[in-house]
Amino acid sequence: MHAKPYVGRFAPTPSGHLHFGSLLAALASYLDARHHTGRWLVRIEDLDQPRNMPGATDHILSTLENYGLGWDGNVLQQSQNLDRYSHILHSLIKRGEAYYCDCSRKLIMEHGGVYPGFCRTRDLPAGSNHAIRVQVPDQQIRLSDRLQGIFSQNLASEVGDFVVRRRDGIVAYQFAVVVDDIDQGITDIVRGADLLDSTPRQLWLYHLLEATPPRYLHIPLIMRRQGEKLSKRLASEPIETGHAPATLFRALTALGQQPPHALRNAPVSEQLAWAAPNWQPQRLPAIQQMLEDSLPPT
């Protein structure tokens, strides 16, 4: 058990509206936090400006409110934190843990997509179109996920030294997420299983930044068809705000929570008042993907 009081978060990217899959991630992290009488924060991950959709942040926040998912404190927007990221990136470079790289995507693809560390020892100076990469160790990095069990990756052979600031100057998700989770004192991360694969990279950053990693729970992703994620990019329909009670009931059922039938049309506040104390994450299917067709109908 963590000695620190529970702090959870939902960290959407404002590249589109909330869809049913992101509602499940928000709901699961909210319920896990409230079940542990913890705090629940919302952070908008808006660093990839070209991908941001105008109006998405407001829509995401008003949808969360509509579903009764009230957060604690202020909403942090990552775009307000650029100085902090740059400061830490430069201290990693100074310590020799990170370095500048001017390799093209084409060159990396020619090496099977795993970056072979060409620039590790070149000692390139800062350059406006240089990426920054972090050196990774040749060892298994393991995590014990609360739902998915043991997951492990050798970063050197499976990923390579990875990008923490892109060549276009945009700070990479992998890096910003860890800096903010540390700064915000996050003890528990509940999110979609598409990010399981990113977690060993993030654990390596916790190590470099000398911080204690959180506990993880990766919930199954909803797939439209085999291999086709319900993603914002695929323009999955935004979830209905007009039928929040019915959709929330469906979401609780999809999370395996077996809400009492009498709550089907109850206001969202009543459904959540039942769901938080009764939250049983072990009822989630311990799989990384589930098909939309297997979910209960609306």
Report the interface residues with ligand GLU, using CB under 6 A: 11-13, 45, 177, 191, 195
Q: The tokens of 200 are what?
A: 């060993």
- State in angstroms the smallest separation of the CB of 129 from ligand GLU: 25
C-beta closer to ligand GLU: residue 117 or 185? 185
- State in angstroms the smallest separation of the CB of 231 from ligand GLU: 9
User: Could you give the C-alpha distances from 13 to 10, 69, 172, 258, in angstroms and in order?
Assistant: 10, 17, 13, 29
C-beta closer to ligand GLU: residue 187 or 271? 187
Tell me the CB-side half-sphere exposure of residue 96, using CA atoms within 13 A: 2
Residue 82, beta-bridge partner list: none
- State in angstroms the smallest separation of the CB of 84 from ligand GLU: 17
Residue with tokens 């949808």: 63
Q: Specify whether the CB–CB gap between 64 and 41 falls below 8 A.
A: no
Among 186, 183, 209, 199, smallest CA distance to 29 is for 186
**Nearest 5°: CA angle at 183, between 177 and 184?**
85
- State in angstroms the smallest separation of the CB of 197 from ligand GLU: 12
Residue 44, beta-bridge partner list: 77
C-beta closer to ligand GLU: residue 92 or 176? 176
Q: Using CA atoms, how far apart are residues 201 and 198, in angstroms rounded to an integer?
A: 6
Among 196, 121, 220, 114, smallest CA distance to 161 is for 114
User: Could you give the C-alpha distances from 174 to 206, 250, 273, 291, in angstroms and in order?
Assistant: 11, 31, 34, 27
Q: The tokens of 187 are what?
A: 């003890």
C-beta closer to ligand GLU: residue 191 or 250? 191
C-beta closer to ligand GLU: residue 41 or 275? 41
Residues with Cβ within 8 Å of 282's Cβ and at least 6 positions away in sequence, in order, are 147
C-beta closer to ligand GLU: residue 69 or 101? 69
C-beta closer to ligand GLU: residue 101 or 221? 221
- State in angstroms the smallest separation of the CB of 184 from ligand GLU: 12
- State in angstroms the smallest separation of the CB of 96 from ligand GLU: 27
- State in angstroms the smallest separation of the CB of 79 from ligand GLU: 13
